[in-house]
């Protein structure tokens, strides 16, 4: 069959689906799942296809939820809530909230590309995750179809099969009794990560595991079921906004300032000094307003302007700050964000001039206190391989986008750099994916991040919903023998050299 644009997502792998099926209702999805189970064929739901980790591709059945039938949106203004079909586009969901003064605070910059089903399944978030968290906080109810065609709807808890409820309860009890695993899960409660299942939900809802399901499904990259719709809580939009732009001589100073300023902030974004230098060298039209690394801090609410001014005053002269600018009007704020927002298109324009920014290690995260170590370590990896790199991201929550520029087709170096960066990050410790979500690219490192005990519990959860591993296999778990070197990652799917 002709797989057209469906052989790729926004990552580096490609696979040709055996079948591409567009479902118009849940009965069709149930049929597709049952036939696939009978034939032993994997099934992968695809939404906007903007996943960067190779989670929205398959050599089995690719299932598309027809937009006309699965993108309805019902509004509950009184409760500040929406119920949406899984194929609803992210930007449309935001527009529906905006009509009554709300928004979905989980705001990936891929809003124009992605859909609700994809956002939920990748645990999407954005710059405002610092204060508002990821989408797991906002998914109130969820409806999904498991591998054997069972419909599970958290709005009707009594209809959820007893087999599933009992198995979830038993898994929750086992984790609760495992003090070291429980402590490590608790330690991650407030950090930003999108790697694997949120097992903490089982501990928080020990008496009523159905309530854990919305959080368990967020970030599950299509491995627990096909999500058909969800109920999403919005948040009232704050009136008032202000932003501060700061330039620092050294990245280390910018990281230290991010820690001081992040408490009241909505977003703390950073661009490293070498990135700005690279951009200025390669894109002369970029105004050279100053050198050094860049920090943008945004505040919202009625006191935003005061908070922004106080934040600037809070930074001591010795903080290494070279320039400060406070913006309290919308045009001023837009001007401040321009340099940060210009970054992605510029990174794309650099392709071919300095190399190709393959999406490999693009959303790692650490505790924000350890950002300097992450920056130093990443710099050493890139220097060892003589690679220029763009480094920028959400400093307030310790989540950086690392975009090394590789020589076109140098896949050996791509694999080495990915391995070295993921080893660095998990050793700090940190997460292999803070916001883009899991996929083939990162699956070999899940266990390094969480340990064999927690990864084991994740496998147990998977087998409750999909005992034969037919829903998107290979995007979370790989056989423990499969590591980059020994298995010559990334050869299990074919690696395409064109991106």
Q: Which stretch binds ligand FAD (CB under 6 A): 170-178, 206-214, 435-443, 479-487?
A: 435-443
| Contacts of ligand FAD in 446-485 (CB under 6 A) | 472
| CA 150 vs CA 27, 64, 142, 178, 230: distances in Å | 11, 19, 14, 31, 17
Task: Give the span between the Cα atoms of 473 and 42, in whole angstroms.
Answer: 7
Instruction: Work out how close the CB of 176 gets to ligand FAD at its nearest, in angstroms, rounded to a whole number.
Output: 28
> Looking up tokens 């903080």, which residue turns up?
319
| CA 285 vs CA 124, 247, 270, 346: distances in Å | 33, 20, 21, 11
Nearer to ligand FAD, 258 or 321 (CB): 258
Which of 6, 8, 9, 295 is close enough to bind ligand FAD by CB under 6 A? 9
Nearer to ligand FAD, 53 or 355 (CB): 53
| Contacts of ligand FAD in 187-246 (CB under 6 A) | 221-222, 226-227
Nearer to ligand FAD, 131 or 436 (CB): 436
> Looking up tokens 């995007």, which residue turns up?
475
84 binds ligand FAD (CB under 6 A): no
Q: Which stretch binds ligand FAD (CB under 6 A): 24-32, 107-115, 150-158, 241-249?
A: 107-115
Which of 14, 36, 119, 399 is close enough to bind ligand FAD by CB under 6 A? 119
Task: Mark residues 61-80: x for contact with ligand FAD by CB under 6 A, - for none.
Answer: ----x---------------
20, 6 contact by CB (below 8 A): yes
Backbone angles phi, psi at 244, to 5 degrees: -125, 135
Of the candidates 99, 126, 131, 96, which has an alpha carbon nearest to the alpha carbon of residue 111? Answer: 126
Nearer to ligand FAD, 103 or 436 (CB): 436
51 binds ligand FAD (CB under 6 A): yes
47 binds ligand FAD (CB under 6 A): yes
Q: Which residue is nearest to ligand FAD (CB)?
A: 118
396 binds ligand FAD (CB under 6 A): no
52 binds ligand FAD (CB under 6 A): yes
**Residues contacting ligand FAD: total by CB under 6 A:** 37
Q: Which stretch binds ligand FAD (CB under 6 A): 46-54, 203-211, 379-387, 476-484?
A: 46-54
Which of 3, 14, 110, 293 is close enough to bind ligand FAD by CB under 6 A? 110
Which of 49, 393, 398, 404 is close enough to bind ligand FAD by CB under 6 A? 49
Nearer to ligand FAD, 14 or 52 (CB): 52
428, 374 contact by CB (below 8 A): yes
Which of 42, 48, 234, 430 is close enough to bind ligand FAD by CB under 6 A? 48
Which of 209, 355, 396, 437 is close enough to bind ligand FAD by CB under 6 A? 437
400, 432 contact by CB (below 8 A): no
433 binds ligand FAD (CB under 6 A): no
117 binds ligand FAD (CB under 6 A): yes
Instruction: Work out how close the CB of 491 gets to ligand FAD at its nearest, in angstroms, rounded to a whole number.
Output: 21
Instruction: Work out how close the CB of 53 gets to ligand FAD at its nearest, in angstroms, rounded to a whole number.
Output: 8
Nearer to ligand FAD, 315 or 356 (CB): 356
Of the candidates 131, 132, 176, 188, which has an alpha carbon nearest to the alpha carbon of residue 432? Answer: 188
Structure tokens at 300: 């919202």
Of the candidates 236, 233, 230, which has an alpha carbon nearest to the alpha carbon of residue 99? Answer: 236
| CA 432 vs CA 78, 182, 199, 208, 348: distances in Å | 39, 20, 17, 31, 23
Residues at the interface with ligand FAD (CB under 6 A):
9-10, 44-52, 55-56, 65, 86, 108-110, 113-115, 117-119, 121-122, 124-126, 221-222, 226-227, 435-437, 472
């Amino acid at each position: 069959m002709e797989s057209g644009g469906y052989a790729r997502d926004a990552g580096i792998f490609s696979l040709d689906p055996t079948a591409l099926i567009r479902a118009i209702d849940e009965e069709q999805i149930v049929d597709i799942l049952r036939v696939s189970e009978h034939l032993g064929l994997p099934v992968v739901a695809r939404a906007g296809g903007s996943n960067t980790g190779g989670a929205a591709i398959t050599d089995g059945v690719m299932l598309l939820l027809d937009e006309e039938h699965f993108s309805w949106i019902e509004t509950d203004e009184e409760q500040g809530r929406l119920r949406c079909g899984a194929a609803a586009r992210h930007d449309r969901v935001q527009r529906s909230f905006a009509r009554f003064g709300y928004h979905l605070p989980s705001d990936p910059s891929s809003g124009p590309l992605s859909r609700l089903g994809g956002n939920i399944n990748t645990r999407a978030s954005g710059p405002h995750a610092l204060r508002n968290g990821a989408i797991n906080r906002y998914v109130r109810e969820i409806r999904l179809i498991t591998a054997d065609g069972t419909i599970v709807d958290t709005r009707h808890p009594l209809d959820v099969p007893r087999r599933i409820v009992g198995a979830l309860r038993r898994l929750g009890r086992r984790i609760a009794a495992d003090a070291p695993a429980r402590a490590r899960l608790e330690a991650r409660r407030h950090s930003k990560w999108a790697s694997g299942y949120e097992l903490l939900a089982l501990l928080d809802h020990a008496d009523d595991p159905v309530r854990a399901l919305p959080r368990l499904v967020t970030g599950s990259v299509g491995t627990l079921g096909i999500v058909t719709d969800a109920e999403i809580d919005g948040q009232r939009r704050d009136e008032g906004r202000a932003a501060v732009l700061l330039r620092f001589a050294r990245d280390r100073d910018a990281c230290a300032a991010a820690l001081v300023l992040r408490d009241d902030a909505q977003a703390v974004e950073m661009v490293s000094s070498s990135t700005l230098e690279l951009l200025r060298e390669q894109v002369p039209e970029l105004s050279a307003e100053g050198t050094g690394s860049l920090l943008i801090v945004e505040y919202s609410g009625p006191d935003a302007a005061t908070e922004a001014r106080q934040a600037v005053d809070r930074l001591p002269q010795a903080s290494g700050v070279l320039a400060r600018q406070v913006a309290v009007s919308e045009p001023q704020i837009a001007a401040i964000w321009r340099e940060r927002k210009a970054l992605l298109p510029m990174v794309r324009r650099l392709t071919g001039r300095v190399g190709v920014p393959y999406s490999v290690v693009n959303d790692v995260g650490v505790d924000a206190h350890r950002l300097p170590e992450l920056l130093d370590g990443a710099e050493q990896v890139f220097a060892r391989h003589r690679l220029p790199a763009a480094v920028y991201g959400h400093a307030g929550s310790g989540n950086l986008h690392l975009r090394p520029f590789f020589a076109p087709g140098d896949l050996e170096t791509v694999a080495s750099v990915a391995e070295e960066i993921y080893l660095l990050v998990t050793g700090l410790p940190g997460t292999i994916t803070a916001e883009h979500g899991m996929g083939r690219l990162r699956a070999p490192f899940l266990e390094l991040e969480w340990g064999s005990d927690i990864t084991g519990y994740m496998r147990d959860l998977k087998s409750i919903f999909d005992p034969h591993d037919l829903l998107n296999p290979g995007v979370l778990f790989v056989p423990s023998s499969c590591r980059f070197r020994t298995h010559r990652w990334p050869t299990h799917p074919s690696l395409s050299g064109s991106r």
